[in-house]
Amino acid sequence: MSYCVNCGVELDASAKRCPLCATPVLNPNEIGKLSEAQAPFPVQKGQVEPVRRKDVGILLSMVTLAAAAVCVILNALVFREHMWSLAVLGSCAVLWMFLEPFVIRPGQSVYLSIFLDGAAIAFLLYMITFLSAGKEWFWELGIPLTVFVTVMAELLTFCLRRLPRSFLTVSLYSITAAGLLCTGIEILVDCYVTRAVSLSWSAVVLTVCGVLDIAFITMLSRRRLRNSIRKRLHF
Ligand SMILES: [Zn+2]
């Protein structure tokens, strides 16, 4: 026995509608069997297409572009004292360039990505020169440092990709690169600040890296040592 859900009148077993108020009669057990057109609510779950990398790339590009554009307009019309928007512009370029290979062109050569990152950083530094008193620091410190760090990053990437890879060799390359990087940075900063090279903190780093490197090379050259380390570290 069934009753109308609207007015409560008793219904015939075969009734499709309530004879009194014309409310459709639906058996909840049969709703699943109805076709899409007959069912009172959607029978299938809606599917949202998965987000593509390209869409994320477009979103990222638009957000960075909008941020840069808004700052340039604000700088031009409202806060006109300094050309601060150029620094924002440079930062947006760096941010975009760093994220671009992951989001927009995942297949891009890693060497090209590193080069472009370096170029973006140089661009940011150049933009900052408009806010500083002189441009000498850019040519004498900014550019040499950026070029040096970029070249080191390229070399380390080359070693990691082309030379034999194991826990010991990766440690060897990374520690050597860290030591050289610190030394190079101190030399460049010294050249700019005092016009003379005198290593201090980087000499300590270099010594520690040198000792570690010797340890790694020894472990690599002694088969038994190497195998024992591989076993202990599960490589
Ligand atoms: Zn009714």
**Contact by Cβ (8 Å): 138, 125:** yes
Q: Please tell me the distance between residue 38's alpha carbon and the centre of ligand 1 in angstroms.
A: 20
Q: Please tell me the distance between residue 32's alpha carbon and the centre of ligand 1 in angstroms.
A: 23
pLDDT tens string 123-151: 999 988 888 878 888 888 899 999 999 99
Q: Please tell me the distance between residue 3's alpha carbon and the centre of ligand 1 in angstroms.
A: 8
pLDDT tens string 57-115: 889 899 999 999 999 999 888 887 888 888 889 999 999 998 888 887 778 889 999 99
Per-residue pLDDT band at 34 (split at 50, 70, 90): low
Looking at this protein, which amino acid is placed at residue 218? T
> What's the CA angle centered on 60, arms 55 and 61, to 5 degrees?
100
**pLDDT score recorded for residue 36:** 65
Q: Please tell me the distance between residue 13's alpha carbon and the centre of ligand 1 in angstroms.
A: 14
**pLDDT score recorded for residue 43:** 67
Q: Please tell me the distance between residue 42's alpha carbon and the centre of ligand 1 in angstroms.
A: 24
Which residues lie across from 2 on neighbouring strands? 11
Q: Please tell me the distance between residue 37's alpha carbon and the centre of ligand 1 in angstroms.
A: 23
Q: Please tell me the distance between residue 7's alpha carbon and the centre of ligand 1 in angstroms.
A: 4
Report the b/e string of 28-67 with b at 16+ CB within 10 A: eeeeeeeeeeeeeeeeeeeeeeeeeeeeebeebeeebeee
pLDDT tens string 213-223: 999 899 888 88
Q: Please tell me the distance between residue 14's alpha carbon and the centre of ligand 1 in angstroms.
A: 15
Q: Reply yes or no on whether the pLDDT at 28 is more than 80.
A: no
Q: Please tell me the distance between residue 4's alpha carbon and the centre of ligand 1 in angstroms.
A: 5
